[in-house]
């Protein structure tokens, strides 16, 4: 009955959330987030079965707060608050029926669920524009070293063949969000040391930025030395996938370097 009630309350919110995952490439990784959280819970089912159940009435306060956030989100047409309220409601129910210790035991898969919620537009814009400018600056610095004269005007890189605009879609935010999510999954599956998991998650940020800057440099070289029309269409899409694969390889290399550095520290007398 409780599950049906929660499903009825959040059915439209979850429907629009899944629809945004399908239509917005920046958040298409959202489908994998709840699946991985469920996988973590299933993998830890034996340990969780041994956790003591100590129901706490504090959970009711969290449930009440979550429902208040839901009301504010619905009345204010604020999707982010409406979606976050579901996670708060889950936390409150777990604490009310199973207790704080059990909630701590499932804290990681619960916190991971926040990655499935798209960033609010105002925050998204504040992140995207600096990434656009950073990618433009890096490309404008590297292209002259490769024999391509450029004149940068904001996020537009003027090449001899044509101007190259670093649009919002080319800011790297898409690969940044996806790579950060995969870095957390990779760290959880491969590593047992918490500090290495955190380091891999943090390393995904500069890796994604660097890989996207290299993509723009490659596009500039393609425009200058081959055909400006090749910068769009299939080659543009293919370069996005290629850069993401390169980002994954760089993440793996970063992990190996962390392992080597740790072994050297352990080997020191």
Helix/strand/coil (H/E/C) assignment for every residue in the chain = CHHHHHHHHHHHHHHHHHHHHHHCHHHHHHHHHHHHHHHHHHHCHHHHHCCCCCCCCHHHHHHHHHHHHHHHHHHCCCHHHHHHHHHHHHHHHHHHHHCHHHHHHCHHHHHHHHHHCCCCHHHHHHHHHHHHHHHHHHHHHHHHHCCCCCEEECCEEECCCCEEECCHHHCCHHHHHHHHHHHHHHHHHHCCCHHHHHHHHHHHHHHHHHHHHHHHHHHHHHHHHCCHHHHCCHHHHHHHHHHHHHHHHHHHHHHHHHHHHHHHHHHCC
What does residue 144 show for φ and ψ, rounded to 5 degrees? -60, -30
**Hey, what are 128's tokens?**
């995207």
CA distance 230 to 179: 26
Please report the pLDDT score of residue 33 as a whole number. 94
> In whole angstroms, what is the distance from residue 181 CA to residue 185 CA?
6
Per the listing, tokens 């929660």 go with: 6
pLDDT truncated to tens, each residue of the chain (269 aa)?
888 998 898 999 999 999 999 988 888 888 999 999 999 999 999 999 888 899 999 999 999 999 999 999 888 878 899 999 999 999 999 999 999 999 999 999 999 999 999 988 888 878 888 888 888 888 888 888 887 788 787 777 777 777 777 766 566 777 788 889 999 999 999 888 888 899 999 998 888 888 888 888 887 777 777 665 655 655 556 566 777 788 888 889 988 888 887 677 666 65
- φ, ψ of residue 204 to 5 degrees: the values are -65, -25
């Amino acid at each position: 009955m409780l599950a049906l009630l929660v499903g009825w309350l959040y059915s439209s919110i979850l429907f629009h959330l899944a629809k945004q995952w399908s239509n917005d490439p920046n958040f298409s990784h959202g489908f994998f987030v709840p699946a991985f959280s469920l996988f973590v819970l299933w993998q830890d089912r034996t340990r969780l079965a041994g956790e003591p159940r100590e129901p706490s009435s504090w959970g009711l306060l969290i449930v009440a707060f979550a429902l208040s956030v839901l009301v504010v989100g619905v009345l204010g047409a604020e999707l982010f608050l409406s979606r976050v309220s579901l996670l708060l409601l889950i936390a409150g129910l777990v604490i009310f029926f199973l207790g704080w210790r059990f909630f701590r035991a499932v804290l990681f898969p619960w916190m991971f669920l926040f990655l499935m919620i798209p960033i609010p537009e105002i925050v998204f814009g504040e992140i995207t524009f600096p990434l656009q400018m950073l990618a433009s600056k890096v490309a404008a610095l590297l292209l002259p070293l490769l024999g391509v004269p450029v004149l940068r005007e904001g996020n537009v890189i003027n090449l001899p063949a044509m101007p190259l605009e670093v649009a919002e879609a080319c800011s790297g935010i898409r690969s940044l969000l996806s790579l950060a999510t995969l870095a957390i999954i990779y760290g959880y599956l491969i590593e047992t040391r918490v500090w290495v998991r955190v380091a891999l998650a943090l390393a995904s940020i500069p890796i994604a930025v660097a890989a996207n800057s290299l993509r723009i440099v490659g596009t500039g070289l393609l425009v200058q030395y081959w055909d400006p029309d090749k910068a769009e269409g299939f080659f543009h899409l293919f370069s996005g996938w290629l850069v993401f694969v390169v980002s994954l390889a760089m993440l793996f290399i970063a992990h190996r370097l962390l392992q080597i550095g740790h072994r050297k520290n352990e080997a020191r007398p």
